[in-house]
Structure 1
Amino acid sequence: MTLALALVLLLAVAAPPAGAADYTGPLIDAHSHVPNATAINAYAAAATRHNVSKVLLLGVGGVQKDDAAWIAAAQAKYPDLVIAGAPVANPAATERVESNIDQLKARAMGEVHVRQISRKIDHDPSDAEFQKLLEVAARRRLPVVIHDELDTRATERLARALSAQPTATVILAHAGESAPPRIEALLDRHPNLVVDLSGMHFQRKPSLASEHGPLDADWKALIEKKPDRFVFGIDVWAARLFEPTMLDRLMKWARRVLGELKPDVAEMVAYRNAATLFGVK
């Protein structure tokens, strides 16, 4: 094989499918955060440029003590854009969580850090403490977003938690930083599990796609097999991600990747599933 032919083949593999058009329909960012009281302004401007109709703002698992105040301020300033998520700094503090729900008129709870290796967090969501939080989620009919980096043990614990509270809807952030076979097995067994594809952009790994490359074939196959079980999120959180140029890159990437799905699937993942989960239009 000549070098020229090898380069042509490499470019063909790395390029999106020929003829794939960007998704142009309605889009709900089902997972993002704000790092301060003013970052929402840059996000709102970018949302206008890229036709992002709604964003679910979540807490950052107790990392930021002012999450609730920042989310409330963002919602007050941009009521047509912001969907409030009730921060969960401590899963055991259910009274505080319920207070946040009431004050924010929240449509979801989280993000709850269940297992995050970088912060040395490793909780069991099937234990009594976390089950109380899931009881709140079930009673309030609000989905709870969890950050749970799945390995074999973590997957078994999550499965027990889902089975113990079948009327509580759990949204697994970042697809559990896992792979399609593990996620498919969980989805097959647990109808109360939804997977969010947030934070799987070109800035992080594992990603759905590089900035300009095609959507991962295995993820595409699973999403199109179970289109009602996925939502899409951009997951901005650090101040650097709110630079206008970066927001443009991330939102353009999101629409390009969604455009590689079948049109009806793209609309479900980009909008309809989230609208149903969060009770918005």
Structure 2
Amino acid sequence: MPRVTRVLLALTILVSAVEWAHAQALPIFDAHIHYSQSDWDALTPERALSVLARANVFRALVSSTPDDGTLKLYDRAPRGIVPFLRPYRTRGDMGTWQHDPAVAAYVEERIKRGIYRGIGEFHLSAGDVEAIVVKRFAKLAEDRNIFWQAHVDEVTVEKLLTLYPRVRILWAHAFPNLWVELAIRTDVAPNGTLDPDWRAVFVKYPDRFMVGTDTWVTSRWETLRETMQAIQDWLAQLPRDVAEQIAHKNGERLFPPP
């Protein structure tokens, strides 16, 4: 076979492989996106939405510091953005919000917009689960039938579930009103190979997981497409029906479009 023919054949095979891989890529519901003030200079709302689209993210759960960032995206793509209300007016609220009545008033006022599907992402320690603002947010979540997105350890989440059994929490798979998003879980597929223990859990509880990327700093936006490709790679190692649930169907079920 002439060399030129071999080269053309190799290119044809490569293009076909790329096209096949693209065709196999799953649509993604990203359950952990932030578009905070520190991102705004580097990323216009239009560019942020473009980054998501290029990564095959068709819907995203977004919370931001301050909340204006979430609204910037939601106003431009209301069917593609699932807005959560973060109780941080600035990053300074991260460690004090649970005891700050002004934060409670901020959330209670903004949530009247009627667009929010949850409160969070918030950080909380086990010693603060009965703080007055946490109790007020539990009442809001119950009354409005919305979620919490909690960045907490397992001790704290168990206390939250015990104290507030009617609140649905986006965190982990172990309880009937608890779901996990997998942002920055490097142990799921170390070196690109799906961990056998994680695989077993995914197959056993396919309705309890969602993917997430967590754009907590601007550099995470810049690498979002590569991060999402790594997620697509380990999703491809699961049975297709399980992968589809984790990739997007669970998000669609929990947060149907308005």
Shorter chain as normaliser: what TM range?
Answer: 0.7 to 0.9
Report the counterpart of residue 101 of structure 1 in structure 2: 111
Unmatched runs of 5 consecutive residues or more in structure 2: 1-20, 89-96
Match of 1:179 in 2: none
Which residue of structure 1 lines up, in the alignment, with residue 63 of structure 2?
Answer: 58
**Is the counterpart of residue 222 in structure 1 residue 201 in structure 2?**
yes
Partner of 1:261: 238
Q: Which residue does the alignment assign to 1:27? A: 28
Find the structure with the greater CA-based Rg.
2
Q: 1:41 aligned to 2:73?
A: no
Shift of 1:265: 1.2
Rate the CA distance shift 1:125–1:219 in 2: closer, same or farther, 3 A: farther
Aligned letter for 2:236?
A: G
Q: Aligned residue for 1:119?
A: none
Root mean square deviation, CA, Å: 2.4
2:184 to 199, 205, 214: 199
Any gaps of 5 or more consecutive residues in structure 1?
1-20, 116-121, 176-183, 201-205
Summarize the Cα distance change of 1:127–1:262 in structure 2 as closer, same or farther, 3 Å threshold: farther
In 1: Cα distance, 2:150 partner to 2:169 partner? 7
Residue identity (%):
26
How far did residue 51 of structure 1 move? 2.2
Find 1:233's aligned residue among 201, 212, 221. 212
Cα distance in 2 for partners of 1:228, 1:131 equals 28
Deviation beyond 6 Å, 4+ runs, structure 1: none
TM-score, normalised to structure 1, is 0.71
- Taking the aligned partners of 1:276 and 1:126, their CA distance within structure 2 comes to 30
Q: Which has the higher helix share?
A: 2
TM-score by length of structure 2 reads: 0.76
Number of residue equivalences: 222
Q: Cα deviations across residues 213-268 of structure 1 (Å, max 9, x unaligned)?
A: 2112211111211111111111112111222xx22211211211222222111111
| Among candidates 110, 134, 137, match of residue 133 of structure 1 | 137
Q: Give SS of 2:75's match.
A: helix
* Aligned-partner SS, 2:192: coil
Report if the CA contact (8 A) 1:234-1:251 is conserved. yes
3-state DSSP class of the match of 2:25? Answer: coil
The CA distance in 2 between the partners of 1:104 and 1:207, in whole Å, is 37
**Residues 261 and 98 of structure 1, relative CA distance in 2, 3 Å threshold:** farther
Instruction: Tell me by how many angstroms 1:129 deviates.
Output: 4.2
- Structure 1 residues 129 and 107: alpha-carbon distance in aligned structure 2, compared to 1, 3 A threshold: closer
Indicate the SS of the match to 2:250. helix
- CA shift, 1:124, in A, is 3.2
Q: Distance in 2 between matches of 1:126 and 1:276?
A: 30
1:209 aligns with 2:208: no
Secondary structure of 1:43's aligned partner: helix
Q: How has the CA–CA distance of structure 1 residues 269 and 70 changed in structure 2, closer, same or farther, with 3 Å as cutoff?
A: same
Question: SS in structure 2 opposite 1:53?
Answer: strand
